[in-house]
């Protein structure tokens, strides 16, 4: 039986309810008083799935909730070490930079080179403050993998934000998986527990306005912020969940990450491969994502969202099972690898049905 601290659990429940209501109210007020903030569809050069211009307000609520959650930790646990910990400070700075870069992009359409430089800077900040992937004995290789991971996830979530609710749903289930993992480990006092719960509540509140037909979108402000946060979550709770003492353990960590982040990785890979084969730039927006092709097959926007919910739940259950209940073996890893590439192949095939 898990060690259950009733007072702490009550504090968590109250916190997530308050945060959800706070985020819901913030979104409502933004919509009511700032109707045109962050609207990007007015630019005819931009390729958007929705023909209707919508304000990019979700990311601002995410970041406000992020700051609120970070501040709340000291009040609930009566500890100030959070703000003296280099790793915590590094995460706060990297997330803030991701948010500001996204905010600038929503306002001025930031150049790809500047975005890439900023994303690399976020990775370097995380590495220099102790947050990096540790799956090999060579630290240089670990650092390089970390940079690619941070840049990849920030861009992947940004690219997946192409249809109502999709990016928010994928982010929600990844964060929920991390929270469940913490509680199954009895790690109730984890310094990032309130942060995860707060952002989970903020995404839930955002989905009320982002569910099709949406009234607002998260914009680059939200996707860049959530992207760096999801990259951090992946490093802390999945890449580094077990010490890679043997190659088989490193393989386990890789497969856990590939399974949980499969929808992000597959969508980005599919789009990159198709655009490069077609001789186009993979960094230019288009209506050629996995979500779009599912829609071309006849699914409505809501049905596409339901499909992503089912796939996200499946990935979450596999990830939790791998971490806590299933004995790892090389054959199991190979089976997961086959599952990943089967899913990739299926979505890539669907994408090529609708050229």
pLDDT at 1: 38
User: Is residue 68 included in any domain, yes or no?
Assistant: yes
Which residue's structure tokens are 């690219």?
159
Helical packing angle, 193-210 and 219-234, nearest 10°: 140
Where does the pLDDT of residue 2 fall: very low under 50, low under 70, confident under 90, or very high at 90 and above? very low
- When pLDDT is cut at 50, 70 and 90, the band that residue 268 belongs to is confident
pLDDT (mean) for 78-90: 75
Q: Helix, strand or coil for residue 196?
A: helix
Q: Is the pLDDT of residue 355 over 60?
A: no
pLDDT tops 80 at residue 316: yes
Minimum mean pLDDT range among 41-45, 176-180, 293-297 = 41-45
Least confident span in 164-173, 205-214, 234-243, 345-354? 345-354
**Domain extent at residue 186:** 6-353
Find the mean pLDDT for residues 166-180.
95
Entry pTM: 0.88
**DSSP per residue over 51-86, as a string?**
SS---B-HHHHHHHHHHHHHHHHHHHH---GGGG-H
Q: Could you tell me if residue 1 is inside a domain?
A: no
What's residue 272's pLDDT? Answer: 81
- What the block records as the tokens of 222 is 């939200």
CA distances from 263 to 47, 60, 153, 159 (A): 22, 25, 11, 11
Mean pLDDT of 192-211: 92
| C-alpha R_g of the chain | 20
Contact status, residue 104 vs residue 110, Cβ threshold 8 Å: yes
> Across the chain, what does the average pLDDT equal?
83
* Mean pLDDT, rounded, for 28-44: 60
Q: How many percent of the chain have pLDDT more than 70?
A: 83
In a domain, 63, yes or no: yes
pLDDT of 227 reads 95
Q: Is residue 5's pLDDT more than 80?
A: no
Q: Express as a percent the part of the chain with pLDDT over 90.
A: 37
Regarding predicted confidence, which is higher, 149 or 2?
149
**The pLDDT value given to residue 318:** 92
Compute the average pLDDT of residues 24-53: 61
Measured distance CA(316)–CA(313) in Å, rounded:
5
Compute CA distances 272 → 123, 245, 281, whole Å: 22, 34, 8
Residue 161 confidence (pLDDT): 86
Q: Check whether 204 has a pLDDT greater than 60.
A: yes
Taking residues 57-69, what's their average pLDDT?
Answer: 87
For range 229-249, the mean pLDDT: 82
- pLDDT at position 192: 87
Q: Which of 55-59, 200-204, 285-289 is most confident?
A: 200-204
Question: Is the pLDDT score of 69 beyond 80?
Answer: yes
> What is the predicted pLDDT for the residue at 337?
87
160 found inside a domain:
yes
Residue 93: predicted pLDDT: 94
Number of compact structural domains in the chain? 1
Mean of pLDDT values over 18-45:
70
């Amino acid at each position: 039986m898990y060690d259950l601290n009733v007072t702490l659990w009550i504090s968590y429940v109250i916190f997530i309810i308050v945060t959800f209501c706070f985020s819901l109210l913030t979104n409502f007020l933004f919509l009511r008083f700032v109707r045109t903030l962050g609207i990007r569809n007015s630019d005819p050069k931009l390729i958007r799935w929705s023909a209707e211009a919508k304000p990019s307000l979700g990311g601002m609520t995410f970041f406000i909730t992020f700051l609120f959650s970070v501040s709340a930790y000291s009040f609930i646990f009566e500890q100030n070490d959070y703000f003296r910990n280099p790793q915590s400070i590094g995460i706060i700075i990297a997330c803030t930079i991701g948010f500001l870069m996204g905010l600038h992009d929503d306002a001025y359409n930031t150049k790809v080179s500047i975005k890439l430089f900023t994303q690399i800077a976020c990775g370097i900040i995380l590495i220099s403050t102790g947050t990096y992937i540790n799956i090999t004995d060579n630290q240089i290789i670990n650092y390089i993998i970390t940079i690619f991971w941070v840049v990849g996830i920030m861009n992947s979530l940004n690219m997946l934000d192409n249809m109502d609710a999709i990016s928010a749903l994928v982010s929600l289930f990844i964060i929920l998986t991390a929270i469940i993992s913490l509680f199954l480990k009895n790690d109730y006092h984890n310094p990032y527990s309130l942060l995860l719960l707060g952002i989970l509540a903020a995404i839930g509140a955002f989905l009320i306005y982002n569910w099709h037909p949406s009234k607002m979108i998260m914009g680059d402000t939200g996707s860049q912020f959530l992207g760096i946060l999801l990259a951090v979550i992946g490093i802390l709770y999945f890449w580094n969940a077990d010490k890679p003492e043997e190659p088989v353990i490193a393989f386990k960590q890789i497969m856990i990450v590939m399974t949980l982040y499969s929808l992000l990785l597959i969508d980005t890979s599919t789009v990159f491969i198709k655009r490069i084969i077609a001789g186009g730039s993979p960094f230019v927006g288009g209506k050629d994502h996995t979500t779009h092709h599912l829609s071309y097959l006849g699914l409505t926007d809501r049905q596409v969202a339901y499909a992503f919910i089912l796939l996200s739940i499946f990935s979450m259950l596999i990830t939790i099972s791998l971490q806590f209940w299933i004995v790892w073996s090389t054959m199991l890893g190979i089976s997961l690898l086959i599952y990943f590439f089967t899913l990739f192949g299926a979505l890539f095939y669907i994408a090529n049905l609708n050229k």
